[in-house]
């Protein structure tokens, strides 16, 4: 929930800084860079987690199938909602 | 940043460096991740608060119900089909793993305590992979399945860890919807898991 507090503070600051296009553009570019850093840190956590690396066998395969099926099901449902919304307008 | 390649490179670089054990394990990595995430969410807030289109997202009321619903029903339908193809996995177990919606820390702990270590590890890996897939594929998913797809794929993580890539892939207009959908799924994940198991 602390995360939502940071987001809310940013939204408030952004709202107050409306019209400062240069500053908001810089924030956008900086956030793209932070995404790379964050994904790098996640990779670091995965790579150095012995329990995760050790279990990348049969349990990992089962997890991968479930994960892919869940992602695929959810994006197909999202596609349906997007289609319904486009046709409702 | 509409391209997934830099993100994939960062992720693989992190894994390789993590495998070398050059990096000291301990709370520092988690703290650094949290700090980066907090700073990043402040930056996203700046972009959302400063962009005019972002506030229209709040008034698009049907989406507020339909997007989380699509994420839930789509996920559960997908894992149900997968359960039929995976021998030795009960439908209820597959549903519980899917109902983590990417919220791997909470869901894996909950499943471990309800159904033991093995399914707990599957829950951890499946939901961690869901976050990773969304981080890596958000632009591709948006192109193939429309702008709501990365939000649905991100599941519970659409409100924090995958929010940055969602905004990069589909624009700040969808940020509020992503936060909302992620919040709904985060609250429903523990509830659904305890119902299924």
Cβ–Cβ < 8 Å for B39, A30: no
Residue B4 in this model has a pLDDT that exceeds 70: no
Nearest CA in chain A to B164: A35
Alpha-carbon distances of B51 from B132, B148, B161, rounded to whole Å: 28, 19, 21
Chain B environment of A50 (Cβ under 8 Å): none
| Phi, psi (deg, nearest 5) at residue A73 | -60, -45
Distance CA B128, CA B186 (A): 14
What local confidence, expressed as pLDDT, does residue B3 receive?
52
DSSP string, chain A: -HHHHHHHHHHHHHHHTTT-HHHHHHHHHHHHHHHHHHHHHHHHHHHT-HHHHHTTTHHHHHHHHHHHHHHHHHHHHHHHHHHHHHHH-
Q: Where are the alpha helices (DSSP H) in chain B?
A: 5-19, 27-50, 56-59, 61-85, 91-98, 104-115, 117-145, 149-154, 163-170, 175-196
When comparing pLDDT for B78 and B2, which is higher?
B78
At B13-34, the pLDDT tens digits run: 988 998 887 777 677 877 888 8
Tell me how close the Cα of B188 comes to any Cα of chain A, in angstroms.
15
Of A67, A13, A52, A49, which is closest to residue B135 (Cα–Cα)? A67
Question: Which 16-45 residues of chain A touch chain B by CB within 8 A?
Answer: 16-18, 20, 24, 27-28, 30-32, 34-45
Tell me how close the Cα of B191 comes to any Cα of chain A, in angstroms.
18
Tell me how close the Cα of B197 comes to any Cα of chain A, in angstroms.
16
Q: At what angle do helices A21-47 and B163-170 cross, to 10 degrees?
A: 130
How many other C-beta atoms are found inside a 10 Å radius of the C-beta of residue A61? 13
The answer to whether A10 contacts B146, with C-beta atoms less than 8 Å apart, is no
| Phi, psi (deg, nearest 5) at residue A17 | -95, 15
Dihedral sign from CA coordinates of B92, B97, B100, B101: negative
Residue B186 in this model has a pLDDT that exceeds 70: yes
Task: Determine the distance from the C-alpha atom of residue B84 to the mean position of all C-alpha atoms in its chain, rounded to a whole number.
Answer: 24
Nearest CA in chain B to A66: B79
What local confidence, expressed as pLDDT, does residue B54 receive?
59
Least confident of B38-52, B89-103, B143-157: B38-52
Residue B8 in this model has a pLDDT that exceeds 60: yes
Tell me how close the Cα of B164 comes to any Cα of chain A, in angstroms.
6
Cβ–Cβ < 8 Å for B149, A73: no
At B69-126, the pLDDT tens digits run: 999 999 999 999 999 999 889 999 999 999 999 988 788 888 888 888 788 889 988 9
Residue B181 in this model has a pLDDT that exceeds 90: yes
Of B165, B196, B161, B167, which is closest to residue B182 (Cα–Cα)? B161
- Give burial (CB, 10 Å; 0-12/13-18/19+) of B61: exposed
Q: What does each of the 89 residues of chain A score in pLDDT, given as a tens digit?
A: 676 788 889 889 988 988 788 888 888 888 878 878 877 887 787 788 777 777 778 888 999 999 999 999 999 999 999 998 888 76
What local confidence, expressed as pLDDT, does residue B1 receive?
35
The answer to whether A13 contacts B97, with C-beta atoms less than 8 Å apart, is no
Please compute, for residue B89, the number of CA atoms within 13 A of its CA located in the half-sphere on the CB side. 26
Distance CA B68, CA B112 (A): 25
ipTM value: 0.81
**Partner residue facing A35 (CB), from B75, B168, B183:** B168
């Amino acid at each position: 929930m602390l995360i939502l507090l940071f987001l809310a503070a940013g939204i408030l600051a952004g709202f107050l800084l409306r019209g400062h296009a240069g500053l908001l553009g810089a924030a956008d570019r900086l956030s793209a860079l932070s995404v790379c850093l964050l994904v790098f840190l996640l990779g670091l956590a995965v790579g150095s987690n012995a329990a995760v690396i050790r279990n990348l066998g049969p349990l990992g395969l089962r997890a991968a199938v479930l994960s892919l099926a869940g992602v695929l099901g959810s994006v197909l449902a999202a596609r349906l909602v997007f289609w319904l919304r486009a046709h409702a307008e | 940043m509409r391209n997934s390649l830099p993100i994939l490179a960062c992720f693989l670089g992190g894994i390789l460096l993590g495998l070398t054990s050059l990096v000291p394990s301990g709370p520092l990595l988690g703290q650094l991740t949290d700090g980066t995430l907090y700073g990043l969410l402040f930056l996203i807030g700046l972009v959302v608060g400063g962009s005019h289109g972002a506030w229209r997202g709040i008034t698009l009321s049907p989406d507020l119900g339909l997007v989380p619903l699509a994420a839930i029903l789509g996920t559960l339908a997908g894992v149900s089909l997968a359960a039929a193809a995976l021998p030795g996995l009960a439908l209820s177990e597959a549903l519980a793993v899917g109902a983590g919606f990417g919220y791997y820390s909470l869901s894996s702990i909950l499943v471990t305590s309800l159904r033991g270590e093995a399914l707990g590890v599957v829950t951890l890996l499946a939901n961690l992979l869901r976050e990773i897939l969304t981080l890596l594929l958000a632009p591709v998913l948006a192109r193939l399945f429309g702008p709501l797809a990365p939000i649905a794929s991100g599941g519970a993580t659409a409100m924090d860890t995958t929010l940055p890539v969602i905004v990069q892939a589909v624009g700040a207009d969808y940020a509020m919807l992503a936060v909302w959908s992620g919040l709904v799924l985060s609250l429903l994940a523990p509830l659904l898991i305890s119902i299924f198991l």
